[in-house]
C-alpha cells in the first residue's frame, strides 16, 4: 500500500521572503512540521494532544 502524500500548509506567520518558514501537514495520527526552505530535510511529528498543548502554550493561553 502506497502512503498518501501529505498536504503541507505554510504558516501565516511565515513571510514569502523571510527566513522563518514553517509548514504543517495533518494526517492520522500525527501533525507533521517541517522547514519550508528544506522540504526534504528533517521533519517533526506530534500527536494531536501534544500539538494542541503546544499551540495553546505558544498562544499564551
pLDDT tens digits, residue range 30-58?
A: 999 998 888 899 999 999 999 999 999 98
DSSP 3-state of 36: coil
Q: Contact at 8 Å (CB) between 24 and 31?
A: yes
DSSP 3-state of 25: strand
pLDDT at 19: 66
Q: Contact at 8 Å (CB) between 59 and 52?
A: no
pLDDT at 15: 67
Residues making up the chain, counted from first to last: 61
Domain range summary for the chain, segments of one domain joined by + = 30-61
pLDDT at 2: 64
- Supply the pTM of this predicted model: 0.77
Amino acid at each position: 500500500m502506497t502512503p498518501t502524500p501529505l498536504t503541507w500548509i505554510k504558516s501565516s506567520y511565515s513571510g514569502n521572503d523571510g527566513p522563518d518558514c514553517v509548514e504543517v501537514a495533518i494526517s492520522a495520527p500525527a501533525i507533521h512540521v517541517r522547514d519550508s526552505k528544506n522540504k526534504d530535510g528533517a521533519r517533526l511529528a506530534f500527536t494531536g494532544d501534544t500539538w494542541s498543548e503546544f499551540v495553546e502554550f505558544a498562544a499564551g493561553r
